[in-house]
Structure formats: C-alpha cells, structure tokens
Amino acid sequence: MTPRIVLTVAALTLREASRRRVLRALLGLTVVLLAITAFGFSRIDAEFSGLTTGEAMLASSVVLNLVMFGLSLIAALGTAFLAGPTLAGEIESGMALSMLARPVRRSDVLVGKWLGLAVFGSGFVTLAGLAHLLVVLATVGYWPPNAAAGLALLAAQTTVLLTLALLLSTVISPMASGMVAVGIFGATWVAGVVATIADMLQNDALARVGTVSRILLPTDGLWRGAMNAFQDPGLFSRAADAMVGHPFLSQAPLSPAYLTWVALWMVLMLALAATIFRRRDV
C-alpha cells in the first residue's frame, strides 16, 4: 500500500463528497432536526422547570437519544448513498479507467476512497451532534457525562455503514448498494429492539437474534453504546423500572472486546472489498 496515493485519493474523494447535492440535503435535514430539538427540550423545560426530578431527567435522556438516533439515520442515509456512486458509479461511467490505467493499485484507490468518506461522515456527524448537544445545553442546561465518547461512537457507526456500502458497491449498482446498506442498517436496529424486549421477557432465543445481528453488523451495538454515553449515569438508580426494555435507553457501556471486534470487522470488510475490486473488470 502506498500512503501518498491513498491520501491523494482520500483528498479527492473528500472534495468530491463536499460538492455533491447529498451534502445540501444532509445540511437541510440537520437544520430541521435542530429546530425539532430546540422545540422539544423547550417543552421539557416548561413542563418540569429544569432537570431537578427523576422524571425530568428520564424524559430528557429519552428525547436526547431519540434526537441522536434521527441524526445517526440522516448520517447513515447520506454516507450510504455517497459510498455507492463513489466507486461503482465511476466504474459504470468509465471514469475509473483514467486512474486505474496508471500503475496504481486498486487497493490503494479503494482505501483512499474509504478514508475520504470516513473523514466526511465522521466529521459531519461529530459537528452536527455537537450542535445538538449545545442546543440541549442552552435549553435545559444538560450536558452528557460522556459526550465525546457518544459522538465518537456515532462517527464509528457511520464509518461501519459506509464500509458496508463500499463493499456492496464492488458487486452491485451504485443505487442498489446504498439501498441495501440502509435496509440492513434498519433491520439490524429492529433486531436490537426485539432483543431488548426479549431480555425484558427473559426470552433467550429472541435475545440471541440481537446479539448475532450486532456481531454481523456492529451499527446497532455502537448505537447502544452511544445512547449509554449520552444519558444521565444516575438514571438507573432513579428510574430502573422505566429503563427495562426501552428502545431509547441503554443499560451498559460497550466492552473493549466489542470495540476491538468493530475495528477488526472494518478491516475484514475492507480486505474483502479490495479482493473483489481487484478481480473485477473495469
């Protein structure tokens, strides 16, 4: 692998992503979500007159995690539909030939595009997430205890999804790769909700569905780690019963072993994508 080529392709990919109409759509949706966030937390402040009760903190944690889920969904849609055209679109249009005809490794091009998209997606979700947290702070005076960890996990979730979309773009069309990636993302989240309810009902068979889905695609696992980072740490002792089976509350942070698996998962998917891309006719 040639670092200079990888960084050059990453810079070109980042520049191209910033010029696409998808970025305008992402910004527009983010502004709408910011307005919803401000309105929702202003109503919480008017209803409870601050975060002085367990009910107020519970409501704020649920609404904050709901808002962050909306943000993660916006980022997922944007990056998934950026990743497909970035590679598969260039192959279909013939633009890839101008670069691959030179003595440039296909793996360098693939990793460079992945790096550029990862910087774009991570930067977007971090800045947008920070803007939402500042709105919450200005409205009700709440700042999550592990805000940096929560934003980092949301950025990792976005990177995992674009990695999947990039892998799919090596075998199917640009539009299909984005649609399939987002569909799998949604199915994994639903499986996680089902597993949470199964834990409440003590149904081990259904609970294993969520465990397996979080291993196969770590987006839901990362999301649950982010929820735990954003919510108040004293919520368990004040509202333990309300947290059981709740889809927008998380009872435990992620383990180092799971975070290690997430990193290994991305390496494996990139290696698989590079292998397929190297053997594909362009």
- Encode pLDDT of 34-81 as tens digits: 998 888 888 877 776 656 556 667 777 788 888 998 898 888 888 877
Dist. CA 209–CA 213, nearest whole Å: 6
pLDDT-based confidence at residue 260 (cuts at 50, 70, 90): very high
Angstrom distance (rounded) from CA 120 to CA 143? 25
For 199, the enclosing helix (H) or strand (E) is helix 174-201
DSSP H or E stretch at residue 114: helix 106-140
Contact 213, 188 (CB under 8 A): yes
What pLDDT, on a 0 to 100 scale, did the predictor assign at position 6? 82
To the nearest whole percent, how much of the chain has pLDDT over 90?
23
**Residue in 119, 205, 133, 193 with CA at minimum distance from that of residue 162:** 119
Kindly report the average pLDDT of the chain as a whole number.
Answer: 81
Is residue 221 within 8 Å of residue 191, measured between CB atoms? no
Looking at mean pLDDT, say which of 54-58, 167-171, 192-196 comes out highest.
167-171
Residue 16 has pLDDT above 80, yes or no: no
3-class state of residue 90 by DSSP? helix
226 contacts 154 by C-beta, under 8 angstroms: yes
State how far the Cα of 26 lies from the Cα of 76, in Å rounded to an integer: 10
Residues 6+ apart with CB under 8 A from 65: 227, 230, 231, 248, 249, 250
Q: Write out the residue range of the structural domain in which residue 275 sits.
A: 3-279
For residue 131, name the pLDDT band (cuts at 50, 70, 90): very high
Residue with tokens 């070109």: 12
Domain count, the chain: 1
Q: Name the residue type at position 5.
A: I
User: In this structure, what token pair is assigned to residue 274?
Assistant: 């590079």
d(CA 11, CA 17): 10
Q: Residue 11's pLDDT is what?
A: 85
